[in-house]
Amino acid sequence: MFELFSVTMVALLVVVAGTAAGIVVVRIWRRVRNNRLAALAAGPRRALLAFVADNGEEGSEDLIAIPDDAWRASLPAALGLLGKLRGDAHAALVSVFLHRGAARAALADLHARSGVRRARAAQLLGDLELREAVPDLCGLLTDRDHEVRVVAVRALGRIGDAKAAWRLIASLDQHDPVPSLLATHALVQMGRDAEVVLSAALDHPQARVRAVCLDALGLIGATGAVGRMARVLAEDDILDVRVAAAANLGRLGARGALKPLVDALDPPAPDLLRAASARALGDLGAPAAVPALAAHLDDGEFQIAHEAAQSLRRLGGPGLVELRSRDNDHCREALALAEPELVGAA
């Protein structure tokens, strides 16, 4: 029995010693590898910094001539710069990446079995702002991996090609879609060229899709969509969508938004929508909204009266006159907030 115990202890000691030795070897190997990579990356990193300092006007040939192993070692730094640079410096660094075959390799990796590789490839193509990659990136909008879909949306937004707008909008109507704010931001980056598609999508059966498109239209300043947004404000079946329509009509600042918002101030519109419309009229910045807002300073619903008073404050002179002519808590609160603003303006 004692002999069996001794053999077992020896075996355990051997296993522990072997494990410890293995850990030491791995750590030494990692340190040697990291030191080697740091040495390889030192020269290219200096070349990259000099390239950025010259705004990309000089040094691209030096970057293209870097040996492959040194370039791979410095790739994290190069990718970090690629995602941050804009203008001429970004265009020059993109040229370096293209000369080194990065785009070709990334396009191939979009179809890799590994989700990590697909996501990295999508991010790189977005940072390269490569329009030729848009069809393949659109294919990733239905990828089985949620994180890959998120990166694909960001990449399409960075590229900013409005041809991807409809595919992105359609991808919102699926199981486990990307966050609404992320999709909105990407659509806004596509600019006014996406306005027609966004307006058409206001008839989409999915309420979430309609709300995202309303936010995107408001953020890109799509004044041509005022009529369509006003129809959503008046007729949509979902209250949250109507509230989004009111907020974005105010954000547009277009004259045609005044009447639809004023009409939504009164019953039978729900109180939540009436309050959103009162707030939107303040954002609209139209002095013509003053009479309609003043008529709701004594509204029985607290939030509506509060929003009407705050909007009158934001409208300046004519609105402040109305606030001073009333004596209620909403008006006094708005005037108290207006006084520091008036002093600052003076």
- Mean pLDDT (the chain) is 87
Cβ atoms 330, 341 nearer than 8 A = no
Least confident of 61-65, 161-165, 229-233, 295-299: 61-65
Judged against a pLDDT cut of 80, whether residue 83 lies above it is answered with: yes
Residue 343 pLDDT: 42
Amino acid at 254: A
Residue 30 pLDDT: 62
> Which residues lie closer than 8 Å to 207 by C-beta, 6 or more apart?
236, 238, 240, 241
Residue 227 pLDDT: 96
Cβ atoms 275, 305 nearer than 8 A = no
Judged against a pLDDT cut of 80, whether residue 32 lies above it is answered with: no
Confidence of residue 68 (pLDDT cuts 50, 70, 90): confident
Residue 65 pLDDT: 78
Residue 5 pLDDT: 58
Cβ atoms 147, 174 nearer than 8 A = no
Query: What's the rounded mean pLDDT across residues 222-240?
Result: 96
5-11 contacts, C-beta under 8 A, 24 or more apart: none
Confidence of residue 37 (pLDDT cuts 50, 70, 90): very low
Residue 176 pLDDT: 85
Q: What is the spatial distance between Cα 146 and Cα 136, in angstroms, rounded to a whole number?
A: 16
> Which residues lie closer than 8 Å to 255 by C-beta, 6 or more apart?
286
Pull the structure tokens for residue 141. Answer: 């909008």
Cβ atoms 286, 274 nearer than 8 A = no
Query: What's the rounded mean pLDDT across residues 245-258?
Result: 95
Q: What percent of the chain has pLDDT over 70?
A: 84
Q: What is the pTM of this model?
A: 0.84
Judged against a pLDDT cut of 60, whether residue 244 lies above it is answered with: yes
Judged against a pLDDT cut of 90, whether residue 309 lies above it is answered with: yes
Confidence of residue 50 (pLDDT cuts 50, 70, 90): confident
Confidence of residue 344 (pLDDT cuts 50, 70, 90): very low
Kindly report the length of the chain.
Answer: 346
